[in-house]
Structure 1
């Protein structure tokens, strides 16, 4: 009976994600991934056709988890009727979970792969774009009713305000590394939430 290679594939993916997130795509060699995952070249090429294919499969996997993270936040606030309260609770969900997030990962795979010019306009870029736009659309759907009728915020670009949460996450990862302080992510998400609350109270 042939052995199920699922565990080996997952071990390679976990190892490659950690290495690429910590040191970048170019700096991570296939030999390093194979050695640290206790695998073999034969096993690697059974599951992945190339380093690019590995990066693609990693990004697919990471984007799926990213969208699960979004769905978890939306589900957590789905029963809140007031639009403003629902928006703030959504932001608090990620603020409250920031320490756990940083204990699980030291950076974002998106930044690692998109730092490579070869992936600009590629299938990998499109996967990240799809996930990013899903976040934007979901947050705009929360922002629009919460800010409706407030003259002081007329003209605010809701897409840009929604994207600012994405940039807060990405910048938070960099700041945590810079300061060697994992709590910086929570602090940055708190500031974003406070900025949104200031808009909500602007009237």
Structure 2
């Protein structure tokens, strides 16, 4: 019977994602991935046509996981009827998981991918843009509902939604540059308190 290669493929993707986040795509050779994953070149090329194909695969999987986290937070707060309370709970959802998130990864794959020009033409940038736009649309809807409910004008909801997303990415940079994983929780806490103050 043919063996199911899915676990091996997932292991390669797990390892490659961690290495690209930690060292960058250029410094992550196929041999380095194979050594860390404990697998063979034959197994690698069974699942991926090239290193570029691997880059697209890890970006696609990471973006899908990112959007899944967004939907998880939306689902977890869906029963909250007051739009302001729901928005605050949405931010708190990630704030409370900030330490866990940073324990899983030292930075964001998006940053690693977008800083390497050779990856831009592989379709990876489009995957990232689609994920960011998904976040923008959902957070903007939460913000628009919250500001309307309180009769508060905080500006363009889409721009504010981008600011929320930028808080995540900026916190990743702070964590990485200082070596302290506490910035994610701290910065999301600041964002939550600012929203609470602005929306009463």
Tell me which interval the TM-score lies in, with the shorter structure as reference length.
Answer: over 0.9
Aligned-pair distance for 1:11? 1.2
Q: Equivalences for 1:132-171 in 2 at 5 Å?
A: 132-148=132-148, 153=153, 156-171=155-170
Aligned position for 2:13: 13
Looking at structure 2, the residues matched to 177 and 152 of structure 1 have their Cα atoms a distance apart, in angstroms, of 36
Once the two structures are superposed, what CA deviation does each residue of 1:1-55 show, in whole Å capped at 9, x if it has no partner? 2222112111111110110011111111111001111111111111001111001
Aligned position for 1:114: 114
Helix, strand or coil: the match of 2:55? helix
Aligned-pair distance for 1:121? 5.5
Residue 196 of structure 1 pairs with residue 199 of structure 2: no
Once the two structures are superposed, what CA deviation does each residue of 1:57-83 show, in whole Å capped at 9, x if it has no partner? 101111111111001110111011111
Task: Determine if contact 1:153/1:199 at 8 Å carries over to the other structure.
Answer: no
Aligned position for 2:25: 25
Aligned-pair distance for 1:170? 1.1
Looking at structure 2, the residues matched to 177 and 3 of structure 1 have their Cα atoms a distance apart, in angstroms, of 39
Helix, strand or coil: the match of 1:159? helix
Helix, strand or coil: the match of 1:153? coil
Aligned position for 2:54: 54
Task: Determine if contact 2:20/2:28 at 8 Å carries over to the other structure.
Answer: yes
Looking at structure 2, the residues matched to 51 and 192 of structure 1 have their Cα atoms a distance apart, in angstroms, of 38
Segments ≥4 residues shifted beyond 4 Å: 149-152
Aligned-pair distance for 1:119? 3.0
Query: How many pairs are equivalent?
Result: 200
Looking at structure 2, the residues matched to 77 and 121 of structure 1 have their Cα atoms a distance apart, in angstroms, of 37
Aligned position for 1:95: 95
Q: Which consecutive residues of structure 1, in runs of 5 or more, have no partner in the other structure?
A: none
Looking at structure 2, the residues matched to 122 and 32 of structure 1 have their Cα atoms a distance apart, in angstroms, of 21
Looking at structure 1, the residues matched to 133 and 16 of structure 2 have their Cα atoms a distance apart, in angstroms, of 26
Looking at structure 1, the residues matched to 32 and 55 of structure 2 have their Cα atoms a distance apart, in angstroms, of 14
Q: Which moved more, 1:95-104 or 1:112-121?
A: 112-121
Superposed CA RMSD: 1.5
